[in-house]
Amino acid sequence: MKNGAVLLLDVLGWKGIWLRRSDAIEAMLQLVASCRDAISSFSGDKVMGDRFSGLRVEVLTISDTIAITCHGELDESVELLSYVGNYLIINGIGCHLPLRGALSYGLFKSSSNVLLGPAVDEVASWYENSEWIGGFLTPSASLKVNIDNFVYPHLLVRHDVPTKNGTYKNGLCLNWPIVWASEENAVEARDRFISHILNLGPSMPEVYSKLSNTIDFYDKNSTPDRENFSELKDRFEDS
C-alpha cells in the first residue's frame, strides 16, 4: 500500500432516478468522461502541469458512486482531488446529478475497480453521511493538510457540515460555490444555481433539508476572489 488521497462522490436521489429520467446512465458516463478530459488537460497547464506532473489520477465508477484516487504526498494529492471534486460537483449540478461525498488521505491500494486500505475504509464511512450537495475532507486529510501550500487555497473552506449524525464542526469543505459564482454578475450566478436546485425534483420535506443546507453553504461561500479565480473559472467552464 502507498499513501494517497481518495475521493468518493455519490448521486443524491439515484434510487428511483429511472422514473425521472431515462438517460441517467448516459448522463453519468458523460459527466465522468468530462472529468477525465479535465484531468488530462491539467498536464498542459503551466501551473498545474508542473505541480501535479508526478501524480496519476484514476477515475472509477461503481453504480451511482464515482471514486477518484491519487497516490502522492499529502498537500499535492489533496489539492489535485479538490480540483477534481469541485469540478464534478459543479458540473453534476448543471446536468441534474447532484453529488455529495468525502475525501480522505492515507494508505490504500487499488486494482481495477477494487479499492482497499485505511484511507478507503475511512472515506467509505463518511461519504454518504452528509446532508447536502457537496464534499468535505475526512479527519485523516483535514487535520494534516496545509492549504497554504495550495496554488488556490480557497478551493477549500471551513464550514460546519450537516450530517446524519449531527454537525461535523469546522469541516474543511470543497468550495465549489466560489468557483460557480466567479463571474461578473453574482445575482445571475445565484439565480442560475437556484434554478438548477429547484429543477432536481419535487422539494419534499426529506429532500428540502438537504437543498436548504446546500443553499446556506452557497450563500456563505460564493463571494469570489476575482483576481485569483479569473483563470480558475475557465477550468470549470462546462458548469
- The 3-state secondary structure of 64-108 reads CEEEEEEECCHHHHHHHHHHHHHHHHHHHHHCCCCEEEEEEEEEE
The pLDDT assigned to 224 comes to 60
Q: How does pLDDT run across 205-228, given as a tens digit for each residue?
A: 667 889 999 999 999 998 765 555
d(CA 73, CA 133): 28
Query: Torsions phi, psi of 216, nearest 5?
Result: -60, -45
Predicted confidence band at 193 (pLDDT cuts at 50, 70, 90)?
A: very high
**For residue 122, what pLDDT is reported?**
96
Q: Give the pLDDT confidence of 26-75 residue by residue, as tens digits.
A: 999 999 999 998 888 876 677 777 788 888 899 999 888 999 999 999 99
Whole-number pLDDT of residue 182 = 74
Give the pLDDT score at 77: 95
* C-alpha atoms less than 13 angstroms from C-alpha of 199 in its C-beta half-sphere: 13
What grid cell was written down for 87?
A: 469540478
Q: Where are the alpha helices (DSSP H) in the chain?
A: 17-20, 24-42, 48-51, 74-94, 118-126, 139-142, 176-180, 186-198, 205-221, 226-235
In order of their start, the domains of the chain are 2-235 (3.30.70.1230)
pLDDT band (50, 70, 90) for residue 101: very high
- Select the more confidently predicted residue: 111 or 173: 173
